[in-house]
Amino acid sequence: MRLPALLCVLLCLAAAPGPVAGADRSCADLRQFYTGKGFTLVGVPQTEISGEHLTMCPQGPTCCTSTMEGNLANVSSRETEGLIREAGRSLQASFNALHRSFDTYFTELHGRSERSLQKVLSPLGTLYSQNTRLYGDLYADLRQYYRGSALNLDETLSDFWSRLLELTFKSSAPTDVILSEDYLECVAKQQETLRPFGDIPRDMKAKVTRAFVTARSFVQALIISGEVVRKVSQVPLSSECVRALMKLVYCPHCHGLASVKPCSNYCSNVMKGCLANQADLDPEWQNLIDTMIQVAASFSTEPSLDVVLSSIPARIYEAVHYQQENIDTITAKVYQTCGAPGEPGTGSPNLHEPSRKSSSLTASEYKPSPTDELRLGMQVSDLSSNLREMRQYWIQVPIALCSKMAVGSAGQDKCWNGISKARYLPEVMGDGLANQINNPEVELDITKPDMTIRQQIMQLKITSNRLKNALEGNDVDFQDASDDNSGSGSGMCVSGQCRRSTTGSYADHPPNNNPVTGATMCQTRLSSQLLLLSLIVLLLQR
């Protein structure tokens, strides 16, 4: 009798209704995770509930309510935007480091050249000692130009040689001859036509202009590049991207798969969709980086940057020495053009010969020391190598983000594919907005690009063109072409230092390279209109 009774009990137990598989699964892990994100447990289920209410995660048994799904979506968005900004800050720091390194090198080179003035020009005697302000003003103007002042470099150098001619001619005149201001002004105007200093002013102008234009354009390109990174890194993610990120990052938690990482290809499609506009920077970004590398390489091309700057005093000495040796011919030509000085004598000026040193340095003899050559070589090499590492930044951001989120190559069969723990089958999309038309994870309207990013693409194009002009020795205008007037940029010309600037201090980048007049203001408005037209054409082409 015992056996039938036992069987009866077992049969009854077997026939009794049991729990549905997964219906009472505990949500303890998710509750702990959810509070760890800063939320309260109000409304959080103790066990799984039906998931028909889910709009971002796959529907099915879940531990997430609609409110929880929305909260976690916002968290995933903030965290991803934080990672993008962090990557941007890292790149900005790299640009800032390159800027500090080159700026330190260039300003030290400039200062060393200025400090050598007395040593090199002392053989000129009173022509040096009585005119130190003229030479000092030249270096001050060159420094302010490099810092972003609105100086016309060509006019600055021409003015220097004209003033030097005026002073040397005045010093050569007999003591009983009075040279009026009008007469001296006439003398100064003969600098270009009489060539009293030979070919040295023309040769020096070409080399100094090229050196300072490329140096200034290079440091400004570093600043602009960092600003582009800052602005683009702050562009908020779209609502479609927020939904896709929630599904990628936190839907596994809602479905009890917290330990399962996303498939790498799945993550790539989400990130390429979210950062499609940013990836469109890549062509112009690489073009700018390549041009900056070319400019950096030009610093060591003969005549190298250190040779040009360090030989300025020697070139001035050569020029004045040339004038001394040809003073009679020069004076005769001045008399033909400006007439004889008025009071009271009319004798030809007789320049007081300064004491000369047979060992005085001349520009043709100047050679940089091995240490100077080595330092310049290291500077160019460091700039080039660091810039190359930044070259593919915008298409590497999705890869970098997924390397932190997604599973490695060995786990592609047991990863979160957006629906379950299995292999992700769709193909990976290409880079850029146009390639996202069939992205299965992020819905994008490829006809509506982000305008902030389009403006920065145009800024990159403009900066590249300026650098290419600088490589040709053409002076460049670095007025900011963006619409950001927040004053948060890092322009080099600080208040009170750019003494010839007629536009005041500036935020992101230096002002126009010419004084602002009615004509140039009109040109600025025209340039803005052309920029807008170019932007519209660019958008229509896409």
**DSSP letters for 345-412:** --PPP-PPPPP--TT---GGG----HHHHHHHHHHHHHHHHHHHHTTTHHHHHHHHHHHHHS--GGGT
Whether residue 206 is contained in a domain is answered as yes
pLDDT for 412 = 84
Residue ending a domain, among 42, 76, 110, is 76
> In which domain, by residue range, is 41 found?
27-76
Contact 214, 470 (CB under 8 A): yes
pLDDT for 505 = 30
- Could you give the number of structural domains in the chain? 2
**pLDDT tens figures, 459-503:** 999 999 999 999 887 876 654 433 443 333 334 543 334 444 333
Residue ranges for the chain with pLDDT beneath 50: 1-23, 343-364, 479-491, 493-533, 535-542
Examine the domain organization and report whether 215 and 287 are in the same domain: yes
Whether residue 16 is contained in a domain is answered as no
Examine the domain organization and report whether 306 and 381 are in the same domain: yes
> How many helices, marked H, and strands, marked E, lie in the chain?
22, 2
Examine the domain organization and report whether 39 and 101 are in the same domain: no
Whether residue 273 is contained in a domain is answered as no
Examine the domain organization and report whether 107 and 53 are in the same domain: no
Whether residue 533 is contained in a domain is answered as no
Examine the domain organization and report whether 141 and 242 are in the same domain: yes
Phi, psi of 195 (to 5 degrees): 50, 55
Contact 136, 118 (CB under 8 A): no
Say which residue the tokens 């320049």 belong to. 351
Calculate the dihedral angle through the C-alpha atoms of 30, 33, 37, 39, rounding to the nearest 10 degrees: 50
pLDDT for 472 = 85
Of 507, 493, 515, nearest to 148 by C-alpha is 493
Examine the domain organization and report whether 235 and 121 are in the same domain: yes
Whether residue 227 is contained in a domain is answered as yes
Element (H, E) at 177: strand 177-178
pLDDT for 366 = 58
Whether residue 133 is contained in a domain is answered as yes
Examine the domain organization and report whether 142 and 199 are in the same domain: yes
Examine the domain organization and report whether 40 and 153 are in the same domain: no
**pLDDT tens figures, 383-434:** 999 999 999 999 999 999 999 899 887 778 899 999 999 999 999 999 999 9
Residues 6+ apart with CB under 8 A from 517: none
pLDDT for 364 = 47
Whether residue 41 is contained in a domain is answered as yes
Examine the domain organization and report whether 70 and 125 are in the same domain: no
Q: Which residues are 454's β-sheet partners?
A: none
Examine the domain organization and report whether 173 and 216 are in the same domain: yes
Examine the domain organization and report whether 203 and 238 are in the same domain: yes
pLDDT for 369 = 67
Of 38, 452, 471, 534, nearest to 236 by C-alpha is 452
Of 79, 83, 80, 49, nearest to 67 by C-alpha is 49
Examine the domain organization and report whether 72 and 99 are in the same domain: no
pLDDT for 368 = 63
pLDDT for 175 = 60
